Structure 1
Amino acid sequence: MDRTEKLHIAMFPWLAYGHTMPFLEVSKFLAQKGHRISYISTPKNISRLPKLPPHLSSNLSFVEFSLPHVHGLPPGVEATSEVPIDKVPYLKRAYDKLRDPLTDFLKNSNVNWIIHDFAPYWLPGIAAPLGVNLVFFSIFNASTFAFLGPPSALLGDRRKRPEDFTVIPEWIDYPCNNIAFKLHEMVNHQQCMDDDVSDFQRIGRLIQGCQFVTMRTCFEFERDAIKLLIKLYQKPVVPVGLLPPLLSLPSNEDNKWEAIKSWLDSEGEKSVLYIALGSEVNLSEESMHQLAFGIEKSNLPFIWVVRNRPVGEGQMNDIIPPGFEKRVSNRGLVLRDWAPQLQILAHSSVGGFLTHCGWSSIIEALKYGRALILFSGASSDQGLNARLLHGKKVGLEIEKNEVDGSFTSDLVAATIRRVMVEPEGEVFRANAWAMREIFGNEDLSNNYLNEFTRFIEEFSTSACHY
């Protein structure tokens, strides 16, 4: 195969917006390099993606597979944001049933590579007989995967109880500032795991079965963790870079942004706190009230994006304390369900971000150097991210009870004020601001994407000479 020959690459993300978007960014880059991309997902997930630039449409096509029905999954659900966490295992079972349509597609479409997510543990079994290469693309960072460990740990039974995940594992060979889960985070995350095949088993089998691993990170941010993974996996780990999103605004939301912008324009530089807990975090009413009272007690101007809950949870849609909005109306904006997060974070009046610690949100915040108030959403990688960023002193974690995750409004207010305005918070503000050199560096990001593309091309070339 000559180096200029173009590849047919299938993309197969997990059913969550935080996964489908990074997969789309990588797809667009590969398509720009002339490779043929088949982006595979369900109709609803594909419809939520932004429109493609016209010059890419000849190389990038969307392949829709209907999500098979499984008992326990509400009808019409196709993404994690549409269900409470305890229904996510049913979504995983439905996703596993995409095995047959994917097998048929691969048999008939001459795919060279599949870039896949953490969930389809059965993929090596269908790809290998067809001569299709696999890249495991983790949208998480290297520190998270370093904590999870080698396939032998993921597939073994050394860590069975939630408590086993609250200590730093013995294979970590670099100082890591106590990056481990809190007990309540692990208990919470177990709700979204399928009893038949855990997330750890899925990841372990896919690391074993792929040609190489890529993840959304870079050596400049976590060199030690990437180097450890190369050692643990005994195969290449090729970072794809941080994929910082580009600032652009969907035109149908222009009016909403204009109103927010005019409010932000009236506030002082770096004075506003932005609060958003992602599309999947659902706090109890008590936690929501403590958070609200903490925001109120901080006495700082703020924008808070409050999301409605998925249907069927038997709780009120709006669980902000009564009278809260009225009391803070002179210094706070409460936005419902959607906000142009990137535009808000880019505005010079925003100084800090109270975040659930999803990796995408952290990348967006550090692209603009915003200091972080770390409020782990207690699911997936979020707790580990909170420890990582706390350790790097670009933010401060709000202390919670390790067993039940409870916290007080006083602690919320004190943490916000320390990060945003108090003298001892200057270290967090300065370190976060310095992170723009890495997280906001588009040249660096493109270099990683180029290196990743070259690796796939050269691997394909050398594989043809065996």
Structure 2
Amino acid sequence: MDSSTKKQLHIAVFPWLAYGHTAPFLQVSQFLAQKGHRIYYVSTPKNISRLPKLPPNLSSDISFIPLSLPQVDGLPPGVESTSELPIHKVPFLKNAYDKLETQLTEFLKSSPQIKLIIHDFAQHWLPHVATQLGISLVYFNILNASSTAFFVPPSEMHAKSRQSPEDFTVVPKWMDYPNNIAFKFHEMAGHKVCEDSTVSDKERVQTVLLNCKIMALRTCYEFEPEALRLLSKSLQKPIVPLGLLPPSLPSVEDKADENWEALKKWLDSKEEKSVFYVALGSEMNLSLESMHELAYGIEKSELPFVWVVRKPSFVQQQSEEDTIPRGLEERVSNRGLVLRDWAPQLKILAHSSIGGFLTHCGWSSVIESLGLGKPLILLPGVIADLGLVARLMQWKKVGLEIERNDRDGSFTSDAVAESIKRVMVDPELRVNADAMKEIFGNIELSNKYLNEFTRALEILN
């Protein structure tokens, strides 16, 4: 389509209430706004306030539409995102989210120029609203293609073949290429507690997938050709990869700049690729026993490290001091740094002394690490598809998973230390991870996919 005659699209963007969703939705919004389209980013006030500030040149092209999250029984007052809740209370957040239907409908009725909504997995009620108002739906699935293929083949959507947690611990028969994509028992058992008993995640995804015009995914053919081809073949609708949406260093928030200089000086004093970085995200809540095993494993590795310790905001039972065994910080002070709360993750990973990343396997964190060529020490959380991401990274030989008990998820400090040491010296992992920079860190490649996505929306409209 010629840019001089291209019609401006008015697009509502509506993510689920988790930062791992709101941030990539904003990245896509910014790209579409740069292409001349008008964006209405819909979320709750607290989630909007946590987003990075818009570049000045886009502030008039993206409007933030705050919807007040209704209060429901079981949801603590003021809570608006998954990061503020233990996993067993996430169903209450889904229940409150469903009650946004009335406010969203009123907004859309008052904005007849909006003919397109880019939405998330949870809005099973949105197709009914969109049909009434003549609006087309585009499902932005923030998962990678392998995780998506594990969950949503049409032939299985209404089948009863996977009922128990054990049924999810084997590679599905429809993934007919060599892979290891399956959950561990403890991951499925843990994930069940965040399911809404009224409307399951499976039902939510089924409904939005069946009613959308396009499904977009945060991945690319260069990394997951098998899974993307499988989805394109099995789903009766266009599958459009968005690319990996890699972050760019200059746009990283600098609120810890005064601490970065001291941290950088410490990293500068270390040998190249000699330090491993540890960060488990803002929502992974290990038991105190597991935190101590992790700490002892980090100590036993005898390697330099930077560990960002973040106690989730909903955890009250232990103090910050108890999170790490008493005396450990003093014992490792000559070779390790323990940082509390926020740290400039991208800057740390980009430093030449960092040689590996011990991660909870969030897709955004994996993208950041491989975009900078750093191999992965995999300790997946139990929410969403983190376990599947860990299997995928091990299959692609860019990471090594810490050995755990399949039934209860427990692990030993020796297993932690062994995995760290192997990743930090394994030449195959290092070479493979370094090669991934050309895919995961490639802004041009990501923009190529975003351009194709933009054209798909323009043709759809």
Q: Are residues 1:38 and 2:40 paired?
A: yes
Instruction: Determine if contact 1:400/1:406 at 8 Å carries over to the other structure.
Output: yes
**Amino acid of the residue matched to residue 6 of structure 2?**
T
Aligned to 1:269: 272
Aligned to 1:445: 446
Q: Distance in 1 between matches of 2:81 and 2:116?
A: 25
Q: Are residues 1:63 and 2:51 paired?
A: no
Measured on the aligned residues, the alpha-carbon RMSD in Å equals 1.3
**Amino acid of the residue matched to residue 274 of structure 2?**
S
Aligned to 1:85: 87
Counterpart secondary structure, 2:110: helix
TM-score (norm 1): 0.96
Instruction: Determine if contact 1:154/1:203 at 8 Å carries over to the other structure.
Output: no
Instruction: Determine if contact 1:356/1:374 at 8 Å carries over to the other structure.
Output: yes
Q: Are residues 1:362 and 2:366 paired?
A: yes
Aligned to 2:147: 144
Q: Distance in 1 between matches of 2:102 and 2:160?
A: 30
CA apart distance, 1:319: 1.4
Match of 1:285 among 270, 283, 288: 288
Instruction: Determine if contact 1:11/1:38 at 8 Å carries over to the other structure.
Output: yes
CA apart distance, 1:252: 2.9
Instruction: Determine if contact 2:241/2:453 at 8 Å carries over to the other structure.
Output: yes
Aligned to 1:173: 176
Say how many residue pairs are matched: 456
TM-score (norm 2): 0.97
**Amino acid of the residue matched to residue 399 of structure 1?**
E
Q: Distance in 2 between matches of 1:458 and 1:309?
A: 43
Aligned to 1:121: 124
Q: Distance in 2 between matches of 1:242 and 1:215?
A: 9
Match of 2:343 among 339, 342, 351: 339
**Amino acid of the residue matched to residue 127 of structure 1?**
A
Instruction: Determine if contact 1:142/1:215 at 8 Å carries over to the other structure.
Output: yes
Instruction: Determine if contact 2:83/2:312 at 8 Å carries over to the other structure.
Output: no
**Amino acid of the residue matched to residue 310 of structure 1?**
S
Instruction: Determine if contact 1:188/1:378 at 8 Å carries over to the other structure.
Output: yes
CA apart distance, 1:20: 0.5
**Amino acid of the residue matched to residue 131 of structure 1?**
G
Q: Distance in 1 between matches of 2:448 and 2:15?
A: 23
CA apart distance, 1:155: 4.0
CA apart distance, 1:130: 1.1
Q: Distance in 2 between matches of 1:363 and 1:172?
A: 23
Q: Distance in 1 between matches of 2:185 and 2:427?
A: 31
CA apart distance, 1:149: 2.6
Instruction: Determine if contact 1:150/1:204 at 8 Å carries over to the other structure.
Output: no
**Amino acid of the residue matched to residue 396 of structure 1?**
L
**Amino acid of the residue matched to residue 190 of structure 1?**
K
Instruction: Determine if contact 1:152/1:204 at 8 Å carries over to the other structure.
Output: no
Q: Are residues 1:381 and 2:385 paired?
A: yes
CA apart distance, 1:196: 1.1
Aligned to 2:423: 419
**Amino acid of the residue matched to residue 411 of structure 1?**
A
Q: Distance in 2 between matches of 1:221 and 1:272?
A: 27
Q: Are residues 1:160 and 2:157 paired?
A: no
CA apart distance, 1:151: 4.0
**Amino acid of the residue matched to residue 173 of structure 1?**
D
Instruction: Determine if contact 1:155/1:205 at 8 Å carries over to the other structure.
Output: no
CA shift digits 1:162-194 (9 cap, x unpaired): 111111111112111x21000000011111111
CA apart distance, 1:316: 3.5
Counterpart secondary structure, 1:219: coil
Q: Distance in 2 between matches of 1:340 and 1:84?
A: 25
Q: Distance in 2 between matches of 1:156 and 1:196?
A: 19
Match of 1:215 among 217, 229, 235: 217
Aligned to 1:454: 455
Counterpart secondary structure, 1:221: coil
CA shift in 2, pair 1:155/1:121, >3 Å = farther
Counterpart secondary structure, 1:279: coil
CA apart distance, 1:152: 4.6
The residue correspondences of 1:92-103 to structure 2 (distance < 5 A) are 92-103=94-105
Unmatched tracts of structure 2, length 5 or more: none
Instruction: Determine if contact 1:84/1:310 at 8 Å carries over to the other structure.
Output: no
Instruction: Determine if contact 1:138/1:216 at 8 Å carries over to the other structure.
Output: yes
Unmatched tracts of structure 1, length 5 or more: 461-466
Instruction: Determine if contact 2:282/2:312 at 8 Å carries over to the other structure.
Output: no
Match of 1:201 among 203, 223, 228: 203
Instruction: Determine if contact 1:12/1:41 at 8 Å carries over to the other structure.
Output: yes
Counterpart secondary structure, 1:214: strand
